[in-house]
Structure 1
Amino acid sequence: MSESEYLNVVPQEDRSAGMSTGGLILLGLQHTFTMFGATVLVPYLTGIPVNVALLTAGLGTLLFHWITKWKVPVFLGSSFAYIAPIIAVTMYYMKEAGLDYGNINDAVNAGVDLRPYLAYATGGIFLAGLVKFGFGWLIKLIGIRRFEKLFPPVISGTMIILIGLILSPVAINMASGNWWIALVSLFTAIIVRLYTRGFSRLVPVIWGIVVGYIVAAITGNVTFAEVGTASWVGFPEVFLPKFSWYAAAAIIPVAIAPSVEHFGDVFAISAVVGKKFYEDPGMHRTLMGDGLATSLGGFLGGPANTTYSENTGVLAFTKAFNPWIMRIAAFFAILMAMVPKVGAIVRSIPVPVMGGIEILLFGMIASIGAKTLINNQVKVEGKNLVTMSLMLVTGLGGAVFQAGNFALQGLGLAAIVGIVVNGILSLTGAAEE
């Protein structure tokens, strides 16, 4: 295939084909464990109620699947891109009300009900979701073929590599809390995936978590206090958004970076599954679904939603691609939002246990990116070498483009750099070798 053609994906066998309902439920639970840590971290940092974040993640995932014709095996959870502006907007309106605290945690510890002030931030999230929906509509208007020209394999493959590498410090930080426990969960998952047969081979993450959890409990590294005090039934504390020019100006521009990053996520899922989801149901539908899931989160008082790379890593590891598995994970998320004791049990899983698993999952994503370059026969020479080099350094080196409240960094910045550089080099006839 010529490098000027678009992404070549290799069809993969779906190991969940023909599986029983019980098996699919267990696979869905595996994805629930995988998304949980990141999804609840955002509300912990911003003051948004945790059960609201779980509810909106589950509902947002189901909405996304409906918009994308039930075809794409994706889970949507809390987006990290909006953390800073959510905190900034909330603190601003608290000060307007005469509540002057140093940070969100101080206000929470003082018993302040943050919802009246968070509502302005969630209003901004609601509008940001509509902007992402608009980007999807724009892709539909210009046509997928014109859109594809912006993301040749050299760019899309490098973006997939960056997704895994950008997330890798998160996995190391999580594991570093207790490396022995992290390594137990990591090697358990590897052994189950590579040396067992039958259904167990499809749930290595659950085996890794279970064995890691048992070892952690035996060694006194599990705290059960929250499990004992959590109630069995508790309706999520949803609240409606408020709208202001300040919140809109602070949060809407943030939608640009997650929109660009969304392209990389869809490329990664397409490469893992071996189906061109960017064509069917189409990148416009996946971005519209992402946007509406974000708006739904904002409308109910939750964080913005985004496609989760953690779950893509599980897809690559297990090769179980049935989209119903992700919808089952969404139902589990809603269940945890409604039953606080279930959520407390999951939260009792030590962070290093999940860190060990995510070392493997994030590495899998980066490896899939390298495989994408190989499958598309991308020559790492000439203009391709320059494009990849600049993308990798800007994506991993901490470069930030800042304009007022808008900041572009990481994968989003690397994608823009790749598009611009590759376009200039192609138009000026730069050497390919």
Structure 2
Amino acid sequence: MAAKNMVMDVNEVPKLSKWIIFSIQHLFAMFGATILVPALTDLPPAVALVSSGAGTLAYLLITRGKIPAYLGSSFAFIYPVQMAMLSQESGIPGAMVGSFLAGLVYGVLALLIAAFGLNWLMKILPPVVVGPVIIVIGLGLAPTAVDMAMNYDGAYSGKHFTVALLTLAITLIGSLFFKGFFGLIPILIGIVGGYIISLFAGIVDTSGVSAAWNQIVSAGSVGEFFGAIFIVPDFVIPFVHYSPFDVLSWNIAAIMMPVAIVTIAEHIGDQMVLSKVAGRNFIKNPGLHRSILGDGVATIIASVLGGPPNTTYGENIGVLAITRVFSVFVIGGAAVFAILFGFIGIITELIASIPPAVMGGVSILLFGIIASSGLRMLIDNQVDLGDKRNLMVSSVILVIGIGGAMIKFDIGDVNIEIAGMALATIIGIVLNLILPGKESGFGNGNMFETDEEINNTEA
């Protein structure tokens, strides 16, 4: 495979000036979603930034620097994290223990893939299942993007929606018409342009930035100066702030661990899409077992810091698809910036001052790219939706996932609830396994080779 119009290959090192700009663009692309998840789950946003960056660096290390993927807060875990925090009033420690267990699911799966190959997993998660699940993830995020773009304090705001649409327009124009260096940073240009428009519209709250700046300029000593610049995020660390054994329960495990099925399907979909976009087969080299292990380790890192579970980000894949800059050094730079920004108060306040309307405008494009990537997966793998079997599997996944269906049941004192994406994924897997004609679910253009071909490829 060869990526079309590649600007920078996976292992190319950019010049420092471009490196910084490219990395900041990825930081901005993931920032809205990564910060939104802790905002919805009452987790510390600064910790989410630090755990996101640390998880991404671990991922790049585990995958031997061969996959340009950024990891950020997972939307699939929003509701489970909320439920785990409420379970037996365990709070953040309960959610972190559940996240740790979910990360272990990744590790076990990675070991199984390394030991037994991919064929068994592909029978469970063929393109006809993974494609619609990715569409569900993208369309499931659509209300979030529209809400950020259109509403303010829970009510419709024409001013905010106008800012969002202008931000989206700048991003689209930059993607389609800008040339040279500026053509490589349309997302960043869109956010900066939207921010400037927001300043004129009077919807930017700069009080946090002003307060942080006043602390810096009023510092009377070197110690006070550095104390004003740097902050310590509100980490929640096991055996320091709590004992995991005090909050561990079957209920938390039942709430959090099944969601790993969804994020693993999302992960596989992201790897397939990223492979197509970058012109590399990351499933073969460095191997799906490494990328899944990296994802799991990133989630475990987040759990021991007090941040939300991590997953590979479709938003950043969207940036890669638009810019054609695939350098892992750019991704690593974004991870380092995320960690630094989590400790620098004024920068955190500056980024936090970006109005939701601006992030909503950009997210309309980026979240749409996620859904379109699922559709592209079906097309690239030539999955025939004229086949009634494939049509039924994909249709059920889409309606159950987007419609928000759920199943609740009790096992003793354990209350189990499987909803939305998790339920859609499980039902899709079951339908694919029990309906006749499973071969058609792989399509005619499946990128996954046999285990023998994969094993003959250098890892």
| TM-score category (smaller protein) | 0.7 to 0.9
CA distance 1:368–1:83, change in 2 (3 Å): closer
Tell me which residue corresponds to 1:392: 398
Give the deviation of 1:246 after TM superposition: 4.8
Q: Is 1:124 matched with 2:133?
A: no
Tell me which residue corresponds to 2:233: 236
Residues 134-161 of structure 1 show CA distances to partners (whole Å, capped at 9, x for unaligned) of 2222232231133223333333333333
CA distance in structure 1 between the partners assigned to 2:405 and 2:244 by the alignment: 32
CA distance in structure 2 between the partners assigned to 1:205 and 1:397 by the alignment: 30
Please state whether the residue corresponding to 2:436 is helix, strand or coil.
Answer: helix
Which residues in structure 2 correspond to 1:123-202 (within 5 Å)? 123-177=97-151, 178-202=160-184
Please state whether the residue corresponding to 2:65 is helix, strand or coil.
Answer: coil
Please state whether the residue corresponding to 2:407 is helix, strand or coil.
Answer: strand
Q: Is 1:381 matched with 2:374?
A: no
Please state whether the residue corresponding to 1:163 is helix, strand or coil.
Answer: helix
CA contact (8 A) 2:251 2:416 kept: yes
CA distance in structure 2 between the partners assigned to 1:67 and 1:424 by the alignment: 36
CA contact (8 A) 2:69 2:316 kept: yes
Please state whether the residue corresponding to 1:306 is helix, strand or coil.
Answer: strand
Given candidates 14, 21, 32, the residue that maps to 2:6 is 14
Which residues in structure 2 correspond to 1:44-83 (within 5 Å)? 44-83=39-78
Letter in 2 for 1:210: V
5+ residue gaps in structure 1?
A: 1-8, 96-116
Given candidates 238, 253, 256, the residue that maps to 2:258 is 256
Residues 372-404 of structure 1 show CA distances to partners (whole Å, capped at 9, x for unaligned) of 322322222122222222222122121223345
CA contact (8 A) 1:90 1:120 kept: yes
CA distance 1:401–1:275, change in 2 (3 Å): farther
Tell me which residue corresponds to 1:4: none
Please state whether the residue corresponding to 1:381 is helix, strand or coil.
Answer: coil
Tell me which residue corresponds to 2:18: 23
Tell me which residue corresponds to 1:306: 311
Give the deviation of 1:335 after TM superposition: 1.0
Given candidates 209, 212, 219, the residue that maps to 2:194 is 212
CA contact (8 A) 1:127 1:248 kept: no
The two structures, once aligned, show a CA RMSD in angstroms of: 2.6
Tell me which residue corresponds to 1:317: 322
Letter in 2 for 1:277: F
Please state whether the residue corresponding to 2:288 is helix, strand or coil.
Answer: helix
Residues 83-111 of structure 1 show CA distances to partners (whole Å, capped at 9, x for unaligned) of 4454455456669xxxxxxxxxxxxxxxx
CA contact (8 A) 2:136 2:371 kept: yes
CA distance in structure 2 between the partners assigned to 1:297 and 1:260 by the alignment: 20
Give the deviation of 1:306 after TM superposition: 1.7
Please state whether the residue corresponding to 1:281 is helix, strand or coil.
Answer: helix
TM-score by length of 1: 0.85
Give the deviation of 1:355 after TM superposition: 0.8
Letter in 1 for 2:71: L
Letter in 1 for 2:102: A
Q: Is 1:419 matched with 2:429?
A: yes
CA distance in structure 1 between the partners assigned to 2:88 and 2:121 by the alignment: 40
CA contact (8 A) 1:316 1:364 kept: no
Residues 337-386 of structure 1 show CA distances to partners (whole Å, capped at 9, x for unaligned) of 11011011011111111111111112222223333322322222122222
Q: Is 1:361 matched with 2:360?
A: no
Q: Percent identity?
A: 40
CA contact (8 A) 1:271 1:372 kept: no
CA distance in structure 1 between the partners assigned to 2:324 and 2:93 by the alignment: 40
5+ residue gaps in structure 2?
A: 152-159, 213-227, 444-459
CA contact (8 A) 2:272 2:377 kept: no
Give the deviation of 1:218 after TM superposition: 0.9
CA distance 1:276–1:427, change in 2 (3 Å): same
Please state whether the residue corresponding to 1:326 is helix, strand or coil.
Answer: helix
Tell me which residue corresponds to 1:351: 356
Give the deviation of 1:427 after TM superposition: 5.4
How many corresponding residue pairs?
Answer: 403
Please state whether the residue corresponding to 1:288 is helix, strand or coil.
Answer: helix
CA contact (8 A) 2:87 2:251 kept: no
CA contact (8 A) 1:222 1:350 kept: yes
CA distance 1:45–1:169, change in 2 (3 Å): closer
CA distance 1:304–1:373, change in 2 (3 Å): closer
CA contact (8 A) 2:111 2:289 kept: yes
